[in-house]
Amino acid sequence: NAGVMQNPRHLVRRRGQEARLRCSPMKGHSHVYWYRQLPEEGLKFMVYLQKENIIDESGMPKERFSAEFPKEGPSILRIQQVVRGDSAAYFCASSPREGAGTEAFFGQGTRLTVV
């Protein structure tokens, strides 16, 4: 059973371009979470999705950021018109169900660099 797979591992974008980050949860997991880690900081919650639904997007910036988790395929975090401040590591986590104490498994992250 493969773990949470994120790709690409590293992504370089010029200012103004779009970045698309993909996350395939563990098999059997229908709950996906995205976190952002700025340099030298902890992880900050961005969004929580279940299949075809956004459950909680309270941590998403109001503009340029969007996320989806379609019925088929990976979850996508999209950042439009990237700026230097978007440079960070973006981590995806998945769990088989909701509920405190349910272990969330993290992917290895996508490190986005905006030049």
Partner 1 sequence: GEDVEQSLFLSVREGDSSVINCTYTDSSSTYLYWYKQEPGAGLQLLTYIFSNMDMKQDQRLTVLLNKKDKHLSLRIADTQTGDSAIYFCAEDKAAGNKLTFGGGTRVLVKP
Cα atoms found within 13 Å of the Cα of residue 85, Cβ hemisphere only: 3
Q: To 5 degrees, how large is the angle CA 62–CA 85–CA 81?
A: 60
Q: What is the nearest approach in angstroms of partner 1 to the Cβ of residue 16?
A: 27
Q: What is the nearest approach in angstroms of partner 1 to the Cβ of residue 74?
A: 16
| Residues 55-84, interacting with partner 1 (CB under 8 A) | 55-56
Beta strands in the chain (DSSP E): 5-7, 10-13, 19-24, 31-37, 43-50, 53-56, 65-68, 75-79, 88-95, 105-106, 110-114
Q: What is the nearest approach in angstroms of partner 1 to the Cβ of residue 70?
A: 20
| Residues 16-35, interacting with partner 1 (CB under 8 A) | 31, 33, 35
Interface with partner 1 includes 8 (CB under 8 A)? Answer: no
Residues near partner 1, by CB under 8 A: 4, 31, 33, 35, 40-45, 48, 55-56, 91, 93, 95, 98-109
